[in-house]
Amino acid sequence: IIVIDFIDMSRSRNRDAVLKTLSKALDEDRTKTYVVEISPLGLVEMTRQNVTEGVREILTKTCPTCDGESVVLSEETVAIDVERRLRELAAERPAAQAFLIRIHPRVATLLAGGPGRPLLEIEEETGKHFHFEGSEGLPIDHFAVALEGSREAVEERALPFQEGEEVLVAIEEPHMYAEDDAVAKLDGYVISVAGAGRLVGKKTLVRIENVGRSAASATLVEGADVIDAPTNGASTSVRSQPDEEAKPRRRGRRGGRGRRKAGDAEGGD
């Protein structure tokens, strides 16, 4: 309810003129309004429909499972809660250098690469290192500690690929900034593939050149087959670097993804 006080209007014709002008102006307002007649004291009461977002709209979004019959927490709301839990985890378990946390990939993306990059701030503040794994099938608010310990042990498990490893991926979408490149995704982990812009919607073999916590860069393997595939196809490790036998194989998994050695891929069950 809005109350407007038009002072010093003793003449009724002046009050009527003001009310008429106000009503005319409100006719152009797309929001529903209702104006009560001006009082002898120059007061006008009116109502206007509230079209701003409330707390519920800010913190939640329409549930994708029940198609709008209810709401679930938004990724942004869950990410804020995860920030708090990471700080608590670092304080409660001081002996651990690093943690592997299982959360929804969209929440992990907000933490690792969102505005302000909150993960870097938390790591600088706590002196701990955090890695994430997960899959689209997880509830949006899922949070679990999958592994804790030394930084080396957690990174061994958390990083999904090795540099030099050759991986069969589904090229899902063009790169946002480089028109000749494209992107493959695996449970929220992004692989930027140089020169793959023409292969969107296809599967092909790529070589991992650089590995980060939330993304990797890769190049196309020369002479590799290109096949049609759904854009949500899984990426599978099918061949490793030539000196694989000379050093231990990294056996980390990310969100339940299976990774096979070269012998497994060729021989099979």
- Domain positions in the chain are 2-48, 56-158, 166-241
Does this model's pTM top 0.85? My answer is no
Whether the domain at 56-158 and the domain at 166-241 fall into the same CATH topology: no
Specify the CATH superfamily of domain 166-241. Nucleic acid-binding proteins (2.40.50.140)
Q: Is 101 within 8 Å of 154 (Cβ atoms)?
A: no
56-158 maps to CATH 3.40.1260.20: yes
Sheet of strand 43-48, all strands in order from the earlier edge strand to the far edge: 2-5, 43-48, 33-35
- Between CA 132 and CA 15 the distance in angstroms is 66
- Look at residue 121 in the predicted model and tell me its pLDDT: 94
Per-residue pLDDT of the chain (269 residues; tens, 9 = 90+): 888 887 777 788 888 888 889 888 888 877 788 888 888 777 888 888 776 667 777 788 888 778 777 888 999 999 999 999 999 999 999 999 999 999 998 899 899 876 668 999 999 999 999 999 988 889 999 999 999 999 999 988 888 888 999 999 999 999 988 889 999 987 778 899 999 999 999 999 999 999 888 789 999 999 888 888 764 455 554 544 444 443 444 434 444 443 444 444 444 44
Q: Which residues have C-beta within 8 Å of that of residue 10, sequence separation ≥ 6?
A: none
